[in-house]
A and B are shown apart, each in its own frame.
Chain A
Amino acid sequence: MKAVYTWAFILAIIVFGSAGDVLQAYSMKRVGDLGELRKRHGFFAMLARIFQTPTFFIGIGAMALGFFSLLLALSWADVSLVAPASASLTFMANAFAARVFLKEKVDVRRWIAAACVAAGVALMAI
C-alpha cells in the first residue's frame, strides 16, 4: 500500500510540475520577448504585462502543488527513489505536453535530448 501512495505522489509531482512548466511557457509566449518588451516599453510595463496574464499565476499554483506533492512523497519514500523518478519522468512528460498543448515541433533530436537528460538526471540522483 505504501508503494501505491509513493507512486501516486510521484505521479502528482510529474503532473503538477509539467502543468506548471507548460503554463509558464504558454504565458511567456503570450507576453512576448521580455528583453524586447523591457527595451521598448520599460521594466514596469513588462512586469504589468506578465501580471495581467492569468495563466502565469495558475502556473505558479501548479508549481506550488508540485512542490507540496514532493514534500508528501518524501515523507512516504526515500529521496533516492522520489528525486530521480520524478525529475527524469517530468522531462519526458514536458516533451509530450509541449508537443500536445504548446504545439512545439518535438522532432527525434529533441526526444533523444529529453531522454538523455532524463537518464542523466536519474543517474545523478541515485
Chain B
Amino acid sequence: MNFRRWMILAGVALFSSAGDTVLSAGMKQVGEISLANLFSVFHAVTNPYVLLGIVLLLGFFSCYLTALSWADLTYVLPATSMGYCLVAVFGKIFLHEQVTPLRWLGVFFIAAGVGFVAQSPHNTTHEHTTDEALPADEVRS
C-alpha cells in the first residue's frame, strides 16, 4: 500500500460522506417527494446542493472502482466505512443534527472494524496484472 492508494481509500470515505451530507441538505430544501408523484425527483436535480451531491457521489464511485481494481472487496468495504463516522461528524457540525450516545457507540464499533482490517493484506487473490488486462496494441490516448 502506497500513499496514492491510501488517498484513494480516503477519497471513497470522504466523497461518500460529503456527497450524502450535501444531498441530504439539498433534499431538505427541495422538500418531501410523494410516491404518487415520483417524477418530481427530477426537479430536485435543479437544486445546486443536490447537483453538488451527485458530482461528489460520482467522485466516490470513481475512487470505489479504482480501489476495487487492486484491493479485496472485504478490505475496501470495512476500510472505507469510516465514511459513516464522518457523516455523523459532518451532520453534527454542518447540519446541526443530534448525535445520540448510541450513534457514537456505532462510530466506535466502525473505527474498531477499520482498525482490524487495516492490519490485513489488501489483496489476497492476486488475480490480475495490468499488462495482461490490456491488449498490447492499445495506443496511449
A residues near B, CB below 8 A? 21-22, 24-25, 28-37, 40-45, 49-50, 75, 91, 94-95, 98-99, 102-107, 109-110, 112-117, 119-126
- Closest residue on chain A to residue B111 by CB atoms: A120
Beta-carbon contact of A41 and B73 below 8 Å: no
Known: A25-B73, A49-B134. A109 touches B120 (CB 8 A): yes
Number of A-B contacts (CB under 8 A): 164
One of A34, A110, A124 near B84 (C-beta < 8 A): A124
Provide the main secondary structure of the chain B interface: helix
- Closest residue on chain B to residue A43 by CB atoms: B141
Residues of B within 8 A of A (CB-CB), count: 48
Residues in A with CB closer than 8 Å to B117 are 109-110, 113
**B127 CB within 8 Å of chain A:** yes
- Closest residue on chain B to residue A53 by CB atoms: B133
Beta-carbon contact of A33 and B130 below 8 Å: yes
Residues in B with CB closer than 8 Å to A119 are 106, 109
